[in-house]
Amino acid sequence: MKLGVVLRVLGDRAQVRSGEEILSLRPKGVLRDGGLLAGDEVEISGEHITKVRPRRNELGRPPVANASLLLVVATLRDPAVQPSDVDRLLLQAAAVGLPAVLVLNKSDLATAEQLCEFAAPYRAAGYAVVETEAICREGVAQVRGALPQGLAVLAGPSGVGKSSLLTALTDIAVEVGAISARLRRGRHTTRSATLYELGEGRLVADTPGFSALELPLVQPWRLRDLYPEFGGRECRFSDCVHRAEPDCGVRDAVDRGLIDQGRYERYLRFLAEIEGRPPQWH
């Protein structure tokens, strides 16, 4: 029996790194029916994947397993990414216990003041923020320096330059989609998650771009725990969801300017969205 890591799933086969080899293997049994994700640690027998080892975490969108870091890529122009989309990806990372770094790409298309204003709420919440211009490779060394051993995942809406950033990180030419002049939305160029090797035990995943980003499947009361800036605030009630309860430490911090008003207002919208979901039956 050999061990390997799934680099990409392509139809009924998977590319797997096992030692110094990259193998094209077929999954056995139930694994054939969507049972494999890029990043899976697998057991191999002959030309088949026979077992997936227990996952440390799993991202649904993007579909990746066993990540160590999420790189949330956003742009202020071409396209103009909304903070709500950034928040949704950060919440997905937090829901599975992943640290995250915000990468503001195409920084040359915005002023220093605009970049600072966009980044300020995230820096205040405790997130690292890196400004890049991937095509010119500005800031790419900072991104590379933030990558831990294991798997880092690039995620963000279409058109923000994930493929250009990946090319700058890996020196591997990755297909880059044009921005639609009419819709100002990126065309999807990546159909499935693909892992690329950076050396020294580091991998980076390129993932499909999404124009609609879902919130993680969590209970409404748990959403509050996914906001690092809410931590350590004293509320009268232990089950406070920071909406209308009296003596709420989070609302007090918002009023005092210690928590960003925009982040808090989006939290309330997300809370209502989660509460409005139909019950999940398992």
Judge whether 52 and 86 are in contact, CB under 8 Å: no
Same domain for 48 and 137? no
Q: Are residues 156 and 23 in the same domain?
A: no
Within 10 Å of residue 111's Cβ, how many Cβ atoms? 10
pLDDT score of 20 more than 70: yes
Residues 170 and 102 in one domain: yes
Weakest-pLDDT range from 101-110, 185-194, 220-229: 185-194
Token code pair at residue 65: 């397993």
243 plus 157 within the same structural domain:
no
For range 20-49, the mean pLDDT: 87
Examine the domain organization and report whether 140 and 270 are in the same domain. no
CA-to-CA dists, residue 235 to 12, 94, 260, angstroms: 52, 22, 18
The CATH number of the domain holding residue 143 is 3.40.50.300
Domain that holds residue 243: 220-275
Same domain, yes or no, for 174 and 256?
no
Question: Among residues of the chain, what percentage have pLDDT more than 70?
Answer: 88
Q: Report whether pLDDT(107) > 60.
A: yes
- Structural contact between residues 44 and 16, judged by C-beta atoms closer than 8 angstroms: yes
Give residue 220's pLDDT: 93
Domain finish residue from 148, 175, 206: 206
Q: What does the pLDDT average to over 51-78? A: 91
Q: What is the pLDDT of residues 77-92, one digit of tens each?
A: 999 999 999 999 999 9
Task: Say whether pLDDT at 212 is over 90.
Answer: no
- The domain tally of the chain equals 3
What local confidence, expressed as pLDDT, does residue 181 receive? 37
Average of per-residue pLDDT across 58-75: 89
Establish if 282 belongs to a structural domain.
no
For residue 243, the one-letter residue type is R
The answer to whether residue 73 sits within a structural domain is yes
Among candidates 16, 191, 164, 179, which has minimal Cα distance to 103? 164
* Residue at 281 is within a domain: no
Res. 35: pLDDT tops 90: no
What sections of the chain are H helices per DSSP? 83-95, 112-125, 140-146, 162-170, 220-223, 249-255, 261-275
Report the predicted TM-score, pTM, of the whole model to 2 decimal places. 0.87
pLDDT of residue 179: 33
Asked if residue 187 and residue 79 are part of one domain, the reply reads yes
244-271 pLDDT, tens digit per residue, is 999 999 999 999 999 999 999 999 999 9
Question: Residue 174: which pLDDT band, with cuts at 50, 70 and 90?
Answer: low
What is the average pLDDT value for the chain, to the nearest integer?
87
pLDDT for the residue 183 = 32
Confirm whether 110 is domain-assigned.
yes
Clarify whether residues 91 and 195 are in a common domain. Answer: yes
Average pLDDT estimate for 196-221:
80
Residue 280 included in any domain: no
